[in-house]
Amino acid sequence: MDMQQGPNETLKSYHKRYNDILFTIPEVKNKVAYMALYKGLRYGKLKKALVLETPLSKDQLTTRVKQYMELEELKNKEMHGKDLRDVFTRKRTRSRSPKKGPVWERI
């Protein structure tokens, strides 16, 4: 199994493709299933979590992936409700205009 998660592909979509292929192969060992999923994942929170705590079975792997899919969907729902200008622009905490007058007058 050599598949990669696309640059804009959701975890849900990638996991569906992964499962479609995985179920066509009879009696896949846990380590093979893990490595196939892990190898194709983009670098992110799930991939880091899989390194820190490797699932021992395909069921544990699926549970972990579903948890991260829920987080991704929640994040997408929250982002969808915001104006893109608010999301991608940083709010300034102070004015960019230069201060007028000598330093000793501003103290």
The confidence score (pLDDT) of residue 96 equals: 61
Q: Rounded distance, CA 51 to CA 64, Å?
A: 12
The answer to the question of residue 102 being in a domain is no
Mean pLDDT computed over 54-59: 90
In a domain, 25, yes or no: yes
42 Cβ contact list (under 8 Å, min separation 6): 5, 7
Taking the C-alpha atoms of residue 14 and residue 6, their distance in angstroms, rounded to an integer, is 8
- Model-level pTM greater than 0.75? no
pLDDT exceeds 60 at position 85:
no
For 53, the domain range is: 11-88
Number of domains in the chain: 1
6 within domain boundaries: no
Q: Is 5 left (phi over 0), alpha (psi -120 to 50) or beta?
A: beta
Distance CA 53, CA 45 (A): 12
